[in-house]
């Protein structure tokens, strides 16, 4: 698959000195364009400053841990709809008699630990955001979601007779908790829009770090992990092992009532649909499997190398409209930055994406050199593509 996503030089951070040199030494046309670019650069800096102050303003509206470290609060909505509900457990308090409360507390704790201890991230926003979870949301609510500020969990289909229930409570699987919290990390970092391929990447990042939270809790290597998302969530009435599997997308369940797991594991099976925001929970199977293949090739604990590569890519490289090809190129680039060009780690990333039908570098280059090339092209110093 070839992506023709021409880079505009203004999207790149063009060093001021380079522009000034062009403005001094270039041809008349080059000088004029460089001057325009410098002037736009000032505008961009003003915009960035404004965005930074908005970010600060937003950060101040989210609840912050008092001591600046790990702080969890679990609320009980008591089957109502008003969030967040009544506080039932705060940081450091003894376990509750309610398993959903303890699962939300423990699961958000392990998620915090993974991001802090392994990736050096101080909570969801990297600024000590308090981790709020609400359990027992509504009645018969077979879902969990991140509302932009907190996690919300339903109890499944507890309002149906036992023999008709498909779902258990949504806190039952720690990877679901990690999944929801990672939506928060994505919200503060790459801000991947929740539609089509960027949306599927958003979902995949949540599955990747959700699974890593579980592996980190259990201290499992890539080979020991089950790579199932939502293990234990389905009741015994359903023929399935979970909601998704990163190891073998499309095989998590096959059931007369629930239907069949629709996830593809390869680009040739990519599902074009308008449903589910353009198949964000469906096509996420492709990048999920690429991560699995990468982690398996690297061996050991998946959160250490493969997880690090994916995390840095999410934090520093992906943008709100990034697609699968760009994610493949950028994880490859990150692996080179972290472990060296041509390293085994970089090769594993390349092989991981090849396993799902994506060739690293198969689209237009996204390496830093691309910015220089785009700038030169813009001012007429390099041939147009």
Partner 1 sequence: MDVERIKFERVGGFANMRLAADLDMHELSEEQADTLKELLDELDFAELPAKLTSDKSMPDEFTYTITVEAEKWQHTVITSDAPDDEKMQELLELLNRLARKQLRKH
Q: What is the total count of residues that contact partner 1 (CB under 8 A)?
A: 41
Q: Is 75 in the site for partner 1 (CB under 8 A)?
A: no
Rounded Cα gap, residues 157 and 174, in angstroms = 19
Token look-up 């790990």 returns 70
Q: Is 239 in the site for partner 1 (CB under 8 A)?
A: no
Q: Which positions from 275 to 294 touch partner 1 by CB under 8 A, shown as an x/- string?
A: xxx---xx------------
Between 243 and 371, CB nearer to partner 1: 243
For the CB of residue 280, give the shortest distance to partner 1 in the complex, in Å: 8
Residues 6 or more apart in contact with residue 17 via CB below 8 angstroms: none
Q: What is the DSSP string of 295-319?
A: HHHH-S-TTTTHHHHHHHIIIII--
Q: Which span (20-28, 178-186, 355-363, 373-381) binds partner 1, by CB under 8 A?
A: 178-186
Q: Which positions from 133 to 152 touch partner 1 by CB under 8 A, shown as an x/- string?
A: -----xxx-xxxxxxx----
Verify whether residue 17 is a known catalytic residue: no
Residue of 170, 227, 303, 311 interacting with partner 1 (CB under 8 A): 170
Rounded Cα gap, residues 284 and 199, in angstroms = 8
**Quick one: which of 318, 336, 335 has its CA closest to 327?**
318
Question: Residue 229 forms beta bridges with which residues?
Answer: 244
Catalytic position from the list 180, 189, 297, 345: 180
Verify whether residue 180 is a known catalytic residue: yes
Rounded Cα gap, residues 239 and 252, in angstroms = 9
What are the b/e assignments for 124-144, b being 16+ CB within 10 Å? Answer: bbbbbbbbbbbbbbeeebbeb
Q: Which span (68-76, 120-128, 172-180, 365-373) binds partner 1, by CB under 8 A?
A: 172-180
Q: Is 164 in the site for partner 1 (CB under 8 A)?
A: yes
Catalytic position from the list 136, 183, 281, 289: 281
For the CB of residue 143, give the shortest distance to partner 1 in the complex, in Å: 4
């Amino acid at each position: 698959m070839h992506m023709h996503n021409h880079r505009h030089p203004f999207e790149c951070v063009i060093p001021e000195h380079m522009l000034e040199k062009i403005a001094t030494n270039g041809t008349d046309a080059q000088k004029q364009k460089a001057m325009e670019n410098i002037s736009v650069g000032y505008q961009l800096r003003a915009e960035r400053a404004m965005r930074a102050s908005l970010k600060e303003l937003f950060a101040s509206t989210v609840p912050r841990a008092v001591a600046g470290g790990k702080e969890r609060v679990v609320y009980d909505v008591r089957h109502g709809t008003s969030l967040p509900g009544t506080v039932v457990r705060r940081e450091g308090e003894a376990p509750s008699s309610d398993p959903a409360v303890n699962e939300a507390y423990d699961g958000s704790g392990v998620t915090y630990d993974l991001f802090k201890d392994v990736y050096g991230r101080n909570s969801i926003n990297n600024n000590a955001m308090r981790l709020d979870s609400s359990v027992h949301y509504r009645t018969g609510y077979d879902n969990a979601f991140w509302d932009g500020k907190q996690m919300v969990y339903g109890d499944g289909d507890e309002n149906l007779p036992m023999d008709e229930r498909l779902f258990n409570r949504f806190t039952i699987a720690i990877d679901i908790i990690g999944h929801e919290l990672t939506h928060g990390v994505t919200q503060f970092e790459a801000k991947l829009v929740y539609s089509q391929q960027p949306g599927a990447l958003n979902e995949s990042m949540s599955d990747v770090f959700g699974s890593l939270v579980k592996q980190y809790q259990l201290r499992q290597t890539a080979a020991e992990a089950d790579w199932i998302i939502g293990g234990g969530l389905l009741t015994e009435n359903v023929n399935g092992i979970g909601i998704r599997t990163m190891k073998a997308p499309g095989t998590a369940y096959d059931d007369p009532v629930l239907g069949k797991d629709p996830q593809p594991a390869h680009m040739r099976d990519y599902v074009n649909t308008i449903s589910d925001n353009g198949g964000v929970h469906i096509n996420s199977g492709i990048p999920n499997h690429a991560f699995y293949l990468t982690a398996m090739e690297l061996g050991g604990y998946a959160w250490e190398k493969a997880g690090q590569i994916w995390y840095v890519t999410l934090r520093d490289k992906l943008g709100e409209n990034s697609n699968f090809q760009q994610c493949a190129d950028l994880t490859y680039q990150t692996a080179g930055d972290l472990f060296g060009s041509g390293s085994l780690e970089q090769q594993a990333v390349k092989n991981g994406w090849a396993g799902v039908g994506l060739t690293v570098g198969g689209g237009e280059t996204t390496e830093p050199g691309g910015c220089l090339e785009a700038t030169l092209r813009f001012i007429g110093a390099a041939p147009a593509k």
